[in-house]
Structure 1
Amino acid sequence: MQPNDITFFQRFQEDILAGRKTITIRDEAESHFKPGDILRVGRYEDDGYFCTIEVTALATVTLDTLTEKHARQENMSLEALKQIIAAIYPGQTQFYVIDFQCL
């Protein structure tokens, strides 16, 4: 079985497949992706493959510079987005916005 290149929490799978979630915000460990990369996507909980995406852009961001646009691209409120990022990456301040589209 081919390994996945990136994983998402299972709760985001439906939004990704429906095109409602078009970015992911990650820490430096996943900052190596670049536009044009084709990635196999799995669920974090069981690593089960569920789609393939193409990276369309990469940018840096901090919690303070997250915007309503980022929140819309994540299909949630800005407050919820900031809370989730802070919970997943406690104490970190710089992040990488990976724009993608399902193939």
Structure 2
Amino acid sequence: MAPNDITFFQRFQEDILAGRKTITIRDASESHFKTGDVLRVGRFEDDGYFCTIKVTATSEVTLDSLTEQHAQQENMTLPELKAVIAEIYPDQQQFYVIEFQCV
């Protein structure tokens, strides 16, 4: 079986599959994804494959410049989004937004 290209916490799987989560915000270690990339997606917890996505856009963002639109694309409120990002990436300010759609 092919390896997964990107993983998400299992708690986001349902939102991704339903099209409610259409972006992911990552640190520099995952800034290499480009528009047009087709990625196998797995769960972070067990690396189990659950879908394939196509990257539709990428951009840079800081924690302070996150907007309500980012939160909506993540299917969260803005305070929830900022808290999740701070929990996953403590002490970081620069991030990379990967917009995607399931294929």
Q: Which of the five TM-score ranges fits, normalised by the shorter chain?
A: over 0.9
Distance across 2 between alignment mates of 1:28 and 1:63: 13
How much identity, in percent, do the aligned residues show? 78
Q: Which residue of structure 2 lines up, in the alignment, with residue 33 of structure 1?
A: 33
- In structure 2, distance between residues paired with 1:62 and 1:80: 16
Q: Distance in 2 between matches of 1:28 and 1:78?
A: 22
C-alpha distance in 2 between matches for 1:54 and 1:31? 15
List 4+ stretches of structure 1 deviating above 2 A: none
**Any idea what SS the aligned residue of 1:96 has?**
strand
Secondary structure (helix, strand or coil) at the match of 2:99 reads: strand
Per-residue CA deviation, residues 21-67 of structure 1 (Å, 9 max, x unaligned), is 00000000000000000000000000000000000000000111000
Structure 2 residue identity aligned to 1:94: Q
Return the TM-score normalized by structure 1.
Answer: 0.99
What secondary structure sits across from 1:50 in the alignment? strand
Q: Could you say which residue in structure 1 is the equivalent of 2:91?
A: 91
DSSP 3-state at the match of 2:12 = helix
The equivalences for 1:14-93 within 5 A come to 14-93=14-93
| AA at the equivalent of 1:13 | Q
Q: How far apart, CA to CA, are the structure 2 residues paired with 1:95 and 1:44?
A: 19
Aligned residue pairs: how many?
103
State the one-letter code of the partner of 2:21: K
